[in-house]
Amino acid sequence: MQIDESLHVYVLNLNTNIDRTQQRRKMNLNARWGRGSDLSLYFLSLSLSLSTYVKIYKIYNIYRCFLWIVAA
């Protein structure tokens, strides 16, 4: 009975060690690919900010033209 319990505990420890190793590998992969995704997110946010900048600039130009019309 004692041998069975110790074997069971050993197998449980082995399984948790295997799970931890797999989790570490997943974390390493995520960290490795995370840099690329961070870079793509950076470029995505940059393009979005550029497009919003262009929209704001267009609205500003329309507003400026409107002011010129009102002033004339």
pLDDT at position 70 is: 84
Percent of the chain scoring above 90 in pLDDT: 0
CA dist 42 and 22 (Å) reads: 29
pLDDT at position 54 is: 84
Mean pLDDT, to the nearest integer, of 2-21? 65
The Cα angle at residue 6 between residues 2 and 9, in degrees rounded to 5: 140
Helices (H), the chain: 2-71
Which pTM value belongs to this model? Answer: 0.36
pLDDT digits (tens, 9 = 90+) for 34-59: 555 566 667 777 777 777 888 888 88
pLDDT at position 67 is: 85
